[in-house]
A and B are shown apart, each in its own frame.
Chain A
Amino acid sequence: MREVAIVAAGMTRFGELWQLSLRDLFVEAAMEALDGAKADHLDAIYVGNMSGGQFVGQEHLAPLMADHLGMAGVAATRVESACASGGMALRQAFLDVASGASDMVLAAGVEKMNDGADVTAVLASAADQETEAYHGITFPGLYAMIARAHMEEFGTTEEDLAAVSVKNHKHGALNPKAQFGREVTTEEVMNSSMVAAPLRLLHCSPVSDGAAAVLVVPLERAKEFTDRPVRILGSGAATGSMALADRQDPAFLDAVSLSAGRAYKMAGIRPGDLNVAEVHDCFSIAEICVTEALCVVDRGKGGETVRSGYTSLGGKLPMNTSGGLKSKGHPVGATGVAQAIEIFEQLRGEAGDRQVKDAHIGLAQNMGGSGASSVVHIFQRV
């Protein structure tokens, strides 16, 4: 397998983007990446998207996006893994280039959630339809059950959950592309309305529109496009039981752990080598569980890890310097690629006020549903 690098990135703002359609969002992000690299052609496009069909009635996204990018003719396909669609699209691009089959591949993610669809119902289609959604569960409900199981097993508290939101909003306030550019206090979080006990409104990532794209090329050609490429050192993906009821331990994200292990192995690094990470905080509890599943800290220690500042900017391993899904926004299919872009900028020293000093190894973790799928990428400054 060849060495692979990201050489350019493009991203829209995330938020309620009423003026921009699904195709507008994609083209804006993709153009920024292509212009950034001065790339004039592509060998392949992978479009990460959870449900263009349910949100805006549009399936068959890949040729549509290629067409609107002015690249009809390019090989393209949509990649779907619920909220991990973007990360999985990146993985497909990585494998395509690493195999030698393609040289110029665009990995993009896009989601248009605000065009009037019943968002709760669409997101619930990532859960088990026959055994979970049928009975009235919602996405927040699934993570709320994970939270309760974690609280029961390890004594994690609601304040621990709030700490994740407070930290990520603090980071997001420094990100011009974030949906919410303001900080929140612990009190605001704890007083926000209940969504699915114990998760409150401010423990939950928002509904967002947005797109993100990166150009992936063989490392040996990277300098044609940028003098600061970022190498994809490792990629690992895994699945877990679909239904939360079928997981061995509802408080443990086994797919995350498996995917991380595979990525660490390919990259030849250990969790202690990481300088910065973007993780999938769809709900505050998710970040706590992921921190443990990535083996950054022991099982059960995720809560105190956040509260201690370990994962804040300035801490030992800053997580979600972009603001995370919570404050940056979570246009489902785009998230995985946006996470990679944050690490890309961190490792190039371009993260502005969010810069982690001297970051040279970073990780992006993206998962789908209640943790049934997970994909982890590890990046290295070149």
Chain B
Amino acid sequence: MPSPRYWREIPSRYRLEASRCCGCGKVCYPARRVCPACGASDWKATRLSHHAKVVTSTVIHVPPTEFLNEAPYAMAIVETPEGARLMIQIVDCDPDEVKPGTEVNLEFRLIRKEGLSGILCYGHKGVPVG
């Protein structure tokens, strides 16, 4: 991944920075210029909580090359208390234990390495609570 593209996403990936629409209150993650719900383009910066609930999930058995050694791994769409949804891996558990409604804490993890000599790319993953 080229550095500028990665670097631009640091606020959203590292700090879960999002936007709250001044028109309708919808929280968008990552932040957007135009609200997909009401079309307004006026928003306030906000951050997501570090916990969320699983909406739907799967277990990837045939992964992309960069994730070869991690398969099988669970991936899920999770929803934070702010109403924002994001797609993340769920780790440190049996992948089959991830179900709709599973509560997770969001932890900072290494998402991918660009081969042996490229940059390291970080972000968040979910770990089931308890």
Interface residues of chain A, those whose CB is within 8 Å of chain B, are 118, 120-121, 124, 130-138, 140-141, 144-149, 152, 193-199, 241, 243-246, 250
Contact = CB atoms under 8 A, between A and B. Distances in A.
Interface of B: 9, 30, 36, 55-67, 70, 72-73, 75-77, 85-89, 95-96, 100, 111-112, 121, 123
A132 B75 CA distance: 10
A131 B65 contact: no
Given A152-B56, A196-B58, A136 B77 contact: no
A136 B56 contact: no
A138 B60 CA distance: 8
B113 to A, nearest CB: 12
Contacts of A198: 58
Given A118-B65, A140-B62, A245-B77, A135 B56 contact: no
B88 A135 contact: yes
B64 A121 contact: yes
Contacts of B123: 134-135
Contacts of A199: 58
Contact of B60 (A132, A134, A137, A246): A137
A141 B112 contact: no
Contact of B65 (A121, A140, A250): A121
A124 B112 CA distance: 15
Contact of A195 (B36, B62, B112): B62
A137 B30 contact: no
Contact of B87 (A140, A144, A241, A245): A245
A250 B57 CA distance: 11
A135 B36 contact: no
B41 to A, nearest CB: 17
B77 A135 contact: no
Q: Which 10 A-B pairs have the closest CB atoms?
A: A144-B58, A245-B85, A197-B59, A149-B56, A136-B67, A194-B61, A245-B77, A145-B56, A196-B58, A195-B62
A193 B62 CA distance: 10
Given A118-B65, A134-B123, A250-B56, 6 more contacts: A134-B111, A136-B64, A137-B87, A145-B58, A194-B59, A196-B62
Contacts of B89: 135-136
B58 A136 contact: no
B62 A136 contact: no
B55 A136 contact: no
